[in-house]
Structure 1
Amino acid sequence: MSGSGLAGMSLLMRMMEEPFFDDKQILVVDKAPKQQNDRTWCFWEREQGLFEPIVHHQWQLLDFFSKDFCTTLQIDPYCYKMIRGIDFYQTVQRKAITKSNVHFHYEEVKSIGNENGKAVLTLPSGKISADYIFNSILFHEPKIAAHEYMLLQHFKGWVIETSTPVFDSGKATFMDFRVSQEEGTTFMYVLPVAANKALVEYTLFTEKLLPQEKYEEALVQYLSQYLGIDSFTIEHEEFGIIPMTNHTFPSVDGRVIYIGIAGGQAKGSSGYAFQFIQKRTEAIVNSLKNNHSLHTDRSFGVKKFRLYDSVLLHVLHYKKLNGDKIFADIFRKNPPQRVLRFLDNETSLWDDLHIMNSVPTSIFLKAAIQEIFR
């Protein structure tokens, strides 16, 4: 396994849960062990998933704000959940200690490929061959073709603590678009875990990153203007970049299987990745157990949602409509459960028609025709 982030460790955890893999030698290779709380993953699901024991907090009430539409979303039967990176890494690592067939090796991965019917991983110290390599390392930025789009979802978040209770820990802010949209689609979200503690994150969908001080200025301004918080301590901070693109990432190359962002598991039009990674890693485990193909599903549903992603990226790329207006229209005209299904690539055509009717037809239909016939 090449890479020990969310995708690699999710796959490892699922393999360790299955007796089928107990007699298989599993090697995880990365440049260094994961020992920092470098990420916070948020996602929604209807039932308890594999990582339910380490869910740090969860909500069924979500606030949505834009300049012309605000509401509280009741998302039952879904729960919106938060998992901290350090809890995730430590849980998988503790499980791995109990498995004599799981090994870790820390060295920079230079490249991966296929040789003589085997997958081959190249390190400074030499090569390692295996029946399969599951790779989550993005070695190079993808080359974006003329008909493809690439936006960056970039975000900076602070876990802040206040001296007085100011948060409702039973309700989170899912998207707050009341902040300036000058840079592009921009929103805040606020995830309270206690009355005096919350993760507050500033998120943008743009082609370029901002200077670090701009993220911090935006966070300070938001806390003061919308939450009335001028005094706080920063317990933890994180920064991340997720590609939002309709570029086709590799799925399988011989004995090399791509997972995570390197395998295209970040949804092109939103950047959501946690649940798509869980679906992909679960499918890999089931395919290996049952000797089925490891290729990504080429079903109509997969193609359908790739088209939807391309259409939204088209609209955002050419600035046909602001992202805050798009999301506001969708949440105003649909029950939140339908929107969450849509963001999960799980809606029916009937649901899709309702979503499509929520946004300006003249803009989105024209974009769809251009994407279909380009």
Structure 2
Amino acid sequence: MNSSQIPHFDYIFTGTGLASLMTIYKMILSGKFSDKSILLLDQDVKKINDRTWCFWEKEESIWNSVVSKKWDLAFFANENFRRDLDLKPYSYNKINGLDFYNFVFGAILNQSNITFLNEKVTDINELETHVFVGTEQNRYTCQYLFNSIYTKAFAERQNKYPVLQQHFVGWFVKTKEEVFNPEEVTFMDFSVEQKGNTRFMYVLPTSKTEALVEYTLFSEKLLPKEEYENEIQIYLKKLGASQYQILEKEEGSIPMTCYPFWERNTKRVLNIGTAGGWTKASTGYTFKSSDKKSSALVEFIQQKDFQMKDFHKKSKFWFYDLLLLDILYRKNELGSSIFSSLFKKGNPELIFKFLDEETTFSEDVKVILKCPKIPFIKALFRVIFLSNKSN
């Protein structure tokens, strides 16, 4: 096949995860890209319920029609205290992966300018005037490429920035006894044994007898799968569930790092999603961050003569995340005390606003001063030293 026979597109998305699908959907909603040819490439056809996304929101978002459950209350605990949190004016929202995929692909099917192909990407090569993309079956070119295929070696083969994982196994269970409160999400329950790590249970109840129960860690190394599942069994027993049925299982590992993925963005190639550092580094939350960045991206690519490498803007919150990750990387067992200090007496509305990266500097100070002082002061000096060393 010569170059004139290679199919050419205005935009190609390599990988159709959350960030890609959010961006595509907002491009459709904008009505500004109907004259642009767009290709989506992914080896996964997105036909299974492979994940659950949660986010907090004040008003209804464009995703409201696929939100399967909302909570106005949250529970936080460690081995010493328990607290019920009134989330208002926020609500905590749950979206099932398959519902989201079906919603966005339903919109894509109505667009004659958008093509989805179930092919595995093997090669991306940027040239001066276009980008070449190879798959196991075909070759394509485009003006601009959005890549969401995560290459973990980029972050893990360096030692300047800590790399932790938010890793978990979750069971969707139906219990014989009524052990859940369907009006309250268990946000973080650190009362489980910490074993030298940051470990907690996360529970999304949909009825008195049904919930997603996840055993989650913020740490460097993954565990054998049976260890997560043993902890889920112990926790269910503690809740009073003597008999239960496992309806579905899910597992995942999300990188938590301040590694500057955006430095790999170029004139024509933009890394998005986890591959672009869109995950909130200090918590592993992806949905809200991707929602904001995809909206900004759709505005950005409507500008004249844009270059992909100019999209990212570093903020003060990147620095705050770096401090927390530095502490958890060196002393992973401090996670429970840090998060507990925030939630024990802190204002939930202010904490969520801070995690959404919407606080003023004076509000930042209010949140940060609730954290244990000495670890953060030590981390501050280490990060400043690291910064001066690299300049």
Q: TM-score, normalised by structure 1?
A: 0.95
Instruction: Name 2:66's counterpart in structure 1.
Output: 54
State whether residues 15 and 21 of structure 1, in contact with CA within 8 Å, keep that contact through their aligned partners in structure 2: yes
Mapped to 2, the partners of 1:4 and 1:231 lie a distance apart of 38
Aligned residue among 253, 260, 263 for 2:276? 263
How much identity, in percent, do the aligned residues show?
38
State whether residues 113 and 256 of structure 1, in contact with CA within 8 Å, keep that contact through their aligned partners in structure 2: no
Instruction: Name 1:194's counterpart in structure 2.
Output: 207
Is 2:227 the partner of 1:214?
yes
Instruction: Name 1:230's counterpart in structure 2.
Output: 242
State whether residues 176 and 241 of structure 2, in contact with CA within 8 Å, keep that contact through their aligned partners in structure 1: no
Unaligned 5+ runs, structure 1: none
Is 2:326 the partner of 1:296?
no
| C-alpha distance 140-367 of structure 1, shift in aligned 2 (>3 A) | closer
Aligned pair count? 370
Q: What SS does the corresponding residue of 1:111 show, helix, strand or coil?
A: strand
Instruction: Name 2:15's counterpart in structure 1.
Output: 3
Mapped to 2, the partners of 1:160 and 1:187 lie a distance apart of 18
Provide Cα deviations, 1:142-186, integer angstroms capped at 9, x if missing partner. Answer: 244332101111001111112343322111111000001105100
Aligned residue among 273, 285, 297 for 1:284? 297
- Structure 1 residue 293 displacement after superposition: 5.5
Q: What SS does the corresponding residue of 1:216 show, helix, strand or coil?
A: helix
Unaligned 5+ runs, structure 2: 1-12, 387-391
State whether residues 157 and 202 of structure 1, in contact with CA within 8 Å, keep that contact through their aligned partners in structure 2: yes
- Structure 1 residue 297 displacement after superposition: 4.0
Is 2:364 the partner of 1:352?
yes
Q: What SS does the corresponding residue of 1:141 show, helix, strand or coil?
A: helix
Matches within 5 A, 1:64-83: 64-83=76-95
Instruction: Name 1:244's counterpart in structure 2.
Output: 256
Aligned residue among 96, 104, 107 for 1:92? 104
Q: What SS does the corresponding residue of 2:319 show, helix, strand or coil?
A: helix
Q: Match of 2:194, as an amino acid?
A: Q
Mapped to 1, the partners of 2:214 and 2:250 lie a distance apart of 9
Q: What SS does the corresponding residue of 1:142 show, helix, strand or coil?
A: helix
- Structure 1 residue 121 displacement after superposition: 1.4
Mapped to 1, the partners of 2:333 and 2:39 lie a distance apart of 47
Q: What SS does the corresponding residue of 1:276 show, helix, strand or coil?
A: helix
Is 2:147 the partner of 1:147?
no
State whether residues 183 and 206 of structure 1, in contact with CA within 8 Å, keep that contact through their aligned partners in structure 2: no
Is 2:382 the partner of 1:367?
no
Instruction: Name 2:123's counterpart in structure 1.
Output: 111
Is 2:29 the partner of 1:17?
yes
| C-alpha distance 68-293 of structure 1, shift in aligned 2 (>3 A) | farther
Q: TM-score, normalised by structure 2?
A: 0.91
Q: What SS does the corresponding residue of 1:130 show, helix, strand or coil?
A: strand
Q: What SS does the corresponding residue of 1:247 show, helix, strand or coil?
A: coil
| C-alpha distance 148-196 of structure 1, shift in aligned 2 (>3 A) | same
Mapped to 1, the partners of 2:300 and 2:193 lie a distance apart of 46
Q: What SS does the corresponding residue of 1:132 show, helix, strand or coil?
A: strand
Is 2:229 the partner of 1:205?
no
Moved more, 18-27 or 287-296: 287-296
Provide Cα deviations, 1:28-63, integer angstroms capped at 9, x if missing partner. Answer: 001131100000001111111121100000101000
- Structure 1 residue 116 displacement after superposition: 3.1
Is 2:147 the partner of 1:157?
no
| C-alpha distance 303-18 of structure 1, shift in aligned 2 (>3 A) | closer
State whether residues 158 and 234 of structure 1, in contact with CA within 8 Å, keep that contact through their aligned partners in structure 2: yes
State whether residues 63 and 71 of structure 1, in contact with CA within 8 Å, keep that contact through their aligned partners in structure 2: yes
Aligned residue among 183, 186, 191 for 1:173? 186
| C-alpha distance 326-140 of structure 1, shift in aligned 2 (>3 A) | closer
Moved more, 31-40 or 12-21: 12-21
State whether residues 69 and 95 of structure 2, in contact with CA within 8 Å, keep that contact through their aligned partners in structure 1: yes
Q: Match of 1:103, as an amino acid?
A: T
- Structure 1 residue 333 displacement after superposition: 3.4
Is 2:280 the partner of 1:273?
no
Mapped to 2, the partners of 1:239 and 1:297 lie a distance apart of 30
- Structure 1 residue 19 displacement after superposition: 1.1
Moved more, 130-139 or 144-153: 144-153
Provide Cα deviations, 1:274-329, integer angstroms capped at 9, x if missing partner. Answer: 1111111111111122435543343xxx4311111111111111117610000010
Q: What SS does the corresponding residue of 2:171 show, helix, strand or coil?
A: strand
| C-alpha distance 365-22 of structure 1, shift in aligned 2 (>3 A) | same
Instruction: Name 1:41's counterpart in structure 2.
Output: 53
Q: CA RMSD in A?
A: 1.5
Moved more, 190-199 or 170-179: 190-199
State whether residues 315 and 321 of structure 1, in contact with CA within 8 Å, keep that contact through their aligned partners in structure 2: no
- Structure 1 residue 70 displacement after superposition: 1.5
- Structure 1 residue 10 displacement after superposition: 1.1
Aligned residue among 319, 343, 358 for 1:307? 319
Q: Match of 2:331, as an amino acid?
A: K
| C-alpha distance 366-139 of structure 1, shift in aligned 2 (>3 A) | closer
- Structure 1 residue 9 displacement after superposition: 1.1
Mapped to 2, the partners of 1:139 and 1:107 lie a distance apart of 18
Q: Match of 2:109, as an amino acid?
A: I
